[in-house]
Amino acid sequence: MTDLFVPGKGAAWGPVLLALTSGVLLALSFPDPGISLLAWCALVPLLVAAAGTTPARAALLGFVTGLVAYLGILYWLNIVMTSYGKLPAPLSALLYLVLAAYLALYPALVVWLARKGEEGGISPLCSFPVLWVAAELVRSFLLTGFPWANLGYSQFRTLPLIQISDLTGVYGVSFLVAFANLVFFRMWLWLRRSDAAYPVRSFLALLILVAATLGYGFAALNRPEQGPLERILLVQGNIPQQVKWQPEFASATVETYERLSRQGCRAPGTLVVWPESALPFFLQSEPQYAARVQSLAAELKSCLIAGSPAFEREGELTRYLNSAFLIAPSGALAGRSDKQHLVPFGEYVPLKGLFPFVNKLVAGIGDFSPGRELKPLETGNGKIGVLVCFEGIFPEISRAYVRQGAGLLVNITNDAWFGRSSAPYQHLSMTVFRAVENRVPLVRAANTGISAIIDSKGHVRGMTQLFQEATLAGQVRRGAAASFYSRHGDLFALGCLGASLGGGLSVWYRRSKKISANA
């Protein structure tokens, strides 16, 4: 038996239940609970359900799987929209459903194209993992991009497996997991059907891929880091979101960060990092507070990074920016990094002219504008790239910083609006890949957690608990050389996208030729 999709038997609702099962297994593969092993077989029920169906029905089953998976993964959006966006629960539920349905279109499209390809003579064993990666790449950029919960991210704790990310990005891990699902389906088919051939070649191919991946991974993990050491202090103020932007709490907020920084900074030359919007006012126009922060850096004799909104005047217009300010050990303002990739409906409202009734979900100042230039900050010990909030989930931003000489990535974020949900853990899991992809350490300061220190191999060397006032001190070894991925980017994923397009054209050509011959 060489075809993957073969005629199946069962009750009318059987395939739908199998598709639902795949969705549940996928959701459980990601934090929390993050049962990563489930990802290796999560798609098997979907493949069973799609066996022998029409491409349209297979797409519908893929949509069901995707919808259930994303409803499970992104349930925390309702916390954001109701608790902080002040949306009515029914409207929040509707928007949540719409986003999950949009994301579910991608697995639906993958299954549909795999079935179409099979009808055109292309084995799904080849097409399915390639199409899956191509879909993840497109989802990362289309409509501003939302690469949350790519399949490979489920494996963030399996360090020997994810080291190939310095070659392929997270997409290489996604490919391997998708391919394994295909092989396990073929094995299931062999066990269930006496006329099915034992999938010797596909099983051997999987063994070779896994062995090569783990071999590369263990070699990378045993390779000594070579960059200079740098002391780090992450400060987690745990400022409640309900009072964060109230002017009367500004002084108390600054006092909290001053106190924690003095307690945690043990030696001069430490890089002290405060979270996104740690200073809930315009540092540029608050000289009294600015003097306090600059004086603190001078007192500690250390560089200090502090998240604060910023503004730029353009004639009569004012552009607001979500920024990180770098203050030198002398107390002088040494630089500013502006957020490039803004959160739709969180930091700005897309197409606001067409939808004036739609407001931002997150409290604070008015709509932000993206920064004009992405450039690392120079600390005196080397360059750092600052990733503000969910910029950490976009590989191209981290890569751009490293290509410009950043030997350390700093992620500042405020995950308070996620509440006590899985979202902070999901957010953290994706930043692990930014460190491995570029072979640079990544340190993460979050207002309410999770703050963490991640080395260039993906080890989480320390992390804080959620909703606790805390500091986290440690040392990291700066990245010494750019990785293959840093230099060349998403060649692997682009190759999968190109192969998908090429396969589609091949199927279309052969079908057209067949129709012409029969005419």
pLDDT in tens, 264-318: 999 999 999 999 999 999 999 999 999 999 999 999 999 999 999 999 998 889 9
Domain count within the chain: 2
Kindly give the interhelix angle for 395-403 and 423-438, rounded to the nearest 10 degrees.
40
Selected catalytic residue, list 118, 347, 360, 389:
389
Whether 6 is covered by a domain: the verdict is no
Q: Report percent pLDDT > 90 for the chain.
A: 80
Q: Are residues 21 and 129 in the same domain?
A: yes
Selected catalytic residue, list 118, 230, 276, 347:
276
pLDDT in tens, 388-405: 999 999 999 999 999 999
Whether 104 is covered by a domain: the verdict is yes
Tokens standing for 123?
Answer: 């084995």
Whether 2 is covered by a domain: the verdict is no
pLDDT in tens, 175-229: 999 999 999 999 998 888 755 667 889 999 999 999 999 999 999 999 999 899 9
Q: Give the integer Cα–Cα distance in Å for 419 and 349.
A: 22
Q: Are residues 209 and 277 in the same domain?
A: no
Of 6-15, 67-76, 399-408, which range is least confident? 6-15
- Compute the CA torsion angle 195, 503, 163, 31 (nearest 10 deg): -70
Q: Which residues contact 33 (CB under 8 A, 6 or more apart)?
A: none
Q: Report percent pLDDT > 70 for the chain.
A: 93
* Residue-averaged pLDDT of the chain: 92
Residue 276 is among the residues annotated as catalytic for this protein: yes
Whether 406 is covered by a domain: the verdict is yes
pLDDT in tens, 31-73: 989 999 999 999 999 999 998 899 999 999 999 999 999 999 9
Q: Are residues 50 and 22 in the same domain?
A: yes
Q: What is the pLDDT of residue 6?
A: 43
Q: Are residues 55 and 38 in the same domain?
A: yes
pLDDT in tens, 337-363: 999 999 887 787 776 655 554 565 555
Whether 7 is covered by a domain: the verdict is no
Q: Are residues 140 and 20 in the same domain?
A: yes
Residues spanned by the domain of 295: 229-478
Whether 484 is covered by a domain: the verdict is no
Per-residue pLDDT for 9 more than 50? no
Q: Tokens 């051997």 correspond to what residue?
A: 204
Does residue 503 contact residue 510 with C-beta atoms inside 8 Å? no
Q: Are residues 218 and 290 in the same domain?
A: no
Average pLDDT over residues 324-333: 98
Of 77-91, 104-118, 193-207, 354-368, which range is least confident? 354-368
Q: Are residues 213 and 321 in the same domain?
A: no
More confident residue, 507 or 350: 507
pLDDT in tens, 423-436: 999 999 999 999 99
Q: Where are the beta strands (DSSP E) in 192-340?
A: 229-236, 271-273, 304-314, 317-327, 333-338
Q: Are residues 309 and 443 in the same domain?
A: yes
Q: Which residues contact 475 (CB under 8 A, 6 or more apart)?
A: 229, 230, 231, 232
At position 8, the amino acid (one-letter code) is G
Selected catalytic residue, list 116, 244, 339, 360:
339
Residue 119 is among the residues annotated as catalytic for this protein: no
∠ CA 427-229-339, rounded to 5°: 35
Average pLDDT over residues 240-250: 91
Q: What is the pLDDT of residue 455?
A: 98
Q: Give the integer Cα–Cα distance in Å for 478 and 442.
A: 9
Residue 352 is among the residues annotated as catalytic for this protein: no
For residue 70, the tally of other CB atoms under 10 A from its CB is 26
Q: Are residues 293 and 211 in the same domain?
A: no
Q: What is the pLDDT of residue 357?
A: 47
SS3 content of the chain, % helix, strand, coil (to 5): 50, 15, 35
For residue 256, the tally of other CB atoms under 10 A from its CB is 18
Of 84-98, 342-356, 478-492, the range with the highest mean pLDDT is 478-492
Whether 5 is covered by a domain: the verdict is no
Q: Are residues 43 and 64 in the same domain?
A: yes
Task: Give the CATH number of the domain where residue 431 resides.
Answer: 3.60.110.10
Q: What is the pLDDT of residue 314?
A: 85
Whether 8 is covered by a domain: the verdict is no
Q: Are residues 335 and 303 in the same domain?
A: yes
Q: Are residues 347 and 468 in the same domain?
A: yes
Report which DSSP code applies to 154. Answer: G
Helix (H, G, I), strand (E, B) or coil at 405: coil
